[in-house]
Amino acid sequence: MPKVLISDSMSNIAQKIFEKNNISFDVKTGLSEDEIIKIIPEYDGMVVRSATKVTKKIIESAKNLKVIGRAGAGVDNIDLATAKEKNMLVMNTPGGNANATAEHAFALIMSVLRKTPFANETTHKGQWEKKNIKGTELSKKTLGIVGFGNVGVRLSYLVKGFDMKILVSSKSLESRKRDFPHVNNVSFEELITNSDVISFHCKAAPDGKPLITKEHYKKMKPTTYIINAARGNIVDEKDLNDALKENLIAGAAVDVFSKEPAKENILFNNPKAILTPHIAASTTEASIVVAEMVANQISDFLLNGKKINTV
Ligand code: MLT
């Protein structure tokens, strides 16, 4: 009977699926790298979310491991090169939390445009800041979506009622253009120059370099808002902080950080930045879907050799 280690907390639907498939499993969360190294030789499969860092050392000690499943989209917590070297399959659950992430990006857009966190905080304190809070409307503005995978596409549909112009910068969109007549595929430069809200939904660059630099901010309208619910290193935090302080842009909302958990960050206490702790995909619905997908995929692979959503 194959054996799977579930090393991050996730919906117990994953356990039910393994049980149903006669796959034995252990749920052991919060383990250190050394603790995982000690136990990993027992397992044929491993399921993680983002907390477990599946390092080179873990993979090299995993003598029987055949598959690592990520309940989520990003696989930046898994050493893919070593996994490939060791012939280990890595799977994720694309699309499983796309709606949750797009909805959070949308919520961030509305919050930063209407200054909702500040309004909430001050009203709770009995301060009546009505005169000091003037929002910006989203309707009829231009939304720039960088990256047009599951999340970017979903966001483009969510804003449909807002009568927006949607610009997209995506290499893969050219061949799929006919499926998305409601968006315009433009260059990155065009997108940043013309958008009122720029929302990132792409992968980080392989070398980890940020996609926007100081020079890019200078080309944006001073009324532009930046949203990052993708990965922390896509938008350099120091450059973003400087751009906000120098009034090169109007505001930002950030869900992801270069270092997580973000216990300290240059953006902390910048009143023009709204920050959330990487919760875009954290909904009841999405956590069930990703756990279900990953457990089914791992079961299918361990029992039938079927490879689904491999990275
Ligand atoms: C993902 O990659 O699926 C999301 O960022 C959610 C997460 O990492 O928890």
Task: Please determine, for residue 293, whether its predicted confidence score (pLDDT) is greater than 90.
Answer: yes
Rounded to an integer, the average pLDDT of 42-68 is 98
* Cβ–Cβ under 8 Å, residues 73 and 286: no
Question: In this model, does residue 279 exceed pLDDT 90?
Answer: yes
Domain borders along the chain are: 3-96+284-304, 98-275
281 Cβ inside 6 Å of ligand 1? yes
User: How many angstroms separate the alpha carbon of residue 150 from the centre of ligand 1?
Assistant: 13
Distance CA 235, CA 187 (A): 18
Write the CB contacts of 246 (distance below 8 Å, at least 6 apart in sequence). Answer: none
Percent of the chain with pLDDT over 70: 100
For the segment 40-59, the average pLDDT, to the nearest whole number, is 98
pLDDT score of 206 more than 90: no
- Atom of ligand 1 at shortest range from CA of 231: 5
Q: What is the mean pLDDT of residues 24-36?
A: 98
Say if residue 261 is exposed, middle or buried (CB neighbours under 10 Å; 0-12, 13-18, 19+): exposed
Of ligand 1's listed atoms, the one at least distance from the Cα of 290 is 3
97 vs 72: CA distance, rounded Å: 7
Residues serving a catalytic function are 231, 260, 278
d(CA 13, CA 134): 45
What's the mean pLDDT in 188-197? 98
Kindly indicate whether the domain formed by 98-275 is annotated with CATH number 3.40.50.720. yes
User: Residue type for 120, please?
Assistant: N
Residue nearest to atom 8 of ligand 1 (CA): 50
Which residue minimizes the CA distance to atom 6 of ligand 1?
281
Which residues are CB-neighbours of 59 under 8 A, at least 6 positions away?
A: 65, 79, 82, 83, 86, 88
**Tens-digit pLDDT profile for residues 213-254:** 899 999 999 999 999 999 999 999 999 999 999 999 999 999
In the prediction, which pLDDT does 215 show?
A: 95
**Mean pLDDT on 170-178:** 95
Res 186: pLDDT: 98
125 backbone dihedrals φ, ψ, rounded to 5°: -85, 0
Q: Which atom number of ligand 1 is nearest to the Cα of residue 70? A: 3
The predicted model scores a pTM of 0.96
* Å from CA of 159 to ligand 1 middle: 22
Q: How confident is the model at residue 136 (pLDDT cuts 50, 70, 90)?
A: very high
* pLDDT tens per residue, range 86-135: 999 999 999 999 999 999 999 999 999 999 999 999 999 999 999 999 99
Are residues 133 and 115 in contact, defined by beta-carbon separation less than 8 angstroms? yes
Mean per-residue pLDDT of the chain = 97
pLDDT score, position 69? 98
Per-residue confidence band for 180, with pLDDT thresholds at 50, 70 and 90: very high
pLDDT value of residue 198: 99
List, in order, residues 6 or more apart from 273 with CB less than 8 Å away.
Answer: 240, 241, 244, 251, 252, 253, 254, 267
In terms of CATH, what superfamily is 3-96+284-304?
NAD(P)-binding Rossmann-like Domain (3.40.50.720)
How sure is the predictor about 75, in pLDDT bands with cuts at 50, 70 and 90? very high
